[in-house]
Amino acid sequence: MEQRLLAWFADHRRDLPWRRTRDPYCVLVSEVMLQQTQVPRVIPRYLEWIERWPSIQTLAAAPRHEVIRVWQGLGYNRRAVNLHRAAQIVAAEGWPANLAELPGVGAYPPAAVRRFAFGEPVLPVDTNVQRVLDRTDSAFRPEAAEALMDLGREVCLARVPRCGLCPLGEQCPSRGRRYEPLRKQSRFEGSFRQRRAETLRLVAAGRTSELDQEAVASLERDGLVEVTAGLARLPE
């Protein structure tokens, strides 16, 4: 199966900007941005980010309020704070042996950095890759990581897989079966996440009167705002 997959990938490989580098910082930025965010939305924001902060040292030296402002619109804003904190740790101490020790990176991004930046024999398994592994009931080497990601995102879709386009279709035991996604993202409209996002936008714009105080308290706990004398502002 793997040879079929790699042959397909040679013709269908997506040219993504983070695939043109082995800089662990750039790989980490891309992986954090890609969490629960579609690739087309991430590409321009990733390019803007790397142009503004081309190295982990420049990001570490940036004021946190600027990092939060630049992240606006990507969602899950605490990821920006965690990425900034991780940059400060690496800039001061170097990359840790266990990348999962970096704040807020979770389980998958460290594996991606190890594979795509450091070339370690690790297969990063995100939701798309896990779906391909489950459906094919096959094992793949780390060298097939990007191919598995593209297949999962473009062909082996969660609900209605495009089995007729799949290079593994003839051998796949799950061919023709439909699946429900493993989990559905909670509705944003009317949610507390929306209230937080709107409150942070108002704080960033300097409009701090009549704020949603529950959202302010939540943002403060995550390090996204500071409250002094009852007034909320972005952290320095």
CATH of residue 7: 1.10.1670.10
Q: State the pLDDT at residue 188.
A: 74
Claim to verify: residue 33 and residue 101 sit in the same structural domain: yes
Q: State the pLDDT at residue 196.
A: 86
Dump strand ranges (E) for the chain: 226-228, 231-233
In which band, very low, low, confident or very high, does the pLDDT at 16 lie, cut at 50, 70 and 90?
A: very high
Amino acid present at 190: G
Q: State the pLDDT at residue 178.
A: 72
Q: State the pLDDT at residue 179.
A: 65
Position 167 pLDDT exceeds 60: yes
Decide: 27 and 18 in contact? Cβ < 8 Å: yes
Is 120 marked active-site? no
Position 218 pLDDT exceeds 70: yes
Claim to verify: residue 71 and residue 128 sit in the same structural domain: no
Going by the DSSP 8-state scheme, the letter that residue 37 receives in this structure is S
Other CB atoms closer than 10 Å to residue 16's CB: what's the count? Answer: 16
Position 184 pLDDT exceeds 70: no
Position 187 pLDDT exceeds 80: no
Claim to verify: residue 167 and residue 107 sit in the same structural domain: no
Domain count, the chain: 3
Q: State the pLDDT at residue 32.
A: 94
The Cα 15–Cα 176 span in angstroms is: 29
Q: State the pLDDT at residue 174.
A: 92
Amino acid present at 209: S
Claim to verify: residue 131 and residue 204 sit in the same structural domain: no
Position 143 pLDDT exceeds 90: yes
Contacts of 82 (CB under 8 A, 6+ apart): 32, 102, 103, 104, 105
Enumerate the β-bridge partners of residue 227: 232
Q: What is the mean pLDDT of residues 91-105?
A: 93
Q: State the pLDDT at residue 64.
A: 94
Length of the chain: 236
Residue 18 belongs to some domain of the structure: no
* The one catalytic residue among 2, 31, 143, 226: 31
Claim to verify: residue 28 and residue 96 sit in the same structural domain: yes
* Residue that finishes a domain, picked among 116, 131, 160: 116
Residue 30 is encoded by which pair of tokens?
């891309």
Position 212 pLDDT exceeds 90: no
Helix 145-154 and helix 127-136, axial crossing angle in degrees, nearest 10: 90
In which band, very low, low, confident or very high, does the pLDDT at 195 lie, cut at 50, 70 and 90?
A: confident
The Cα 1–Cα 6 span in angstroms is: 9
In this prediction the pTM is 0.84
Decide: 64 and 95 in contact? Cβ < 8 Å: no
Residue 16 is encoded by which pair of tokens?
């993504």
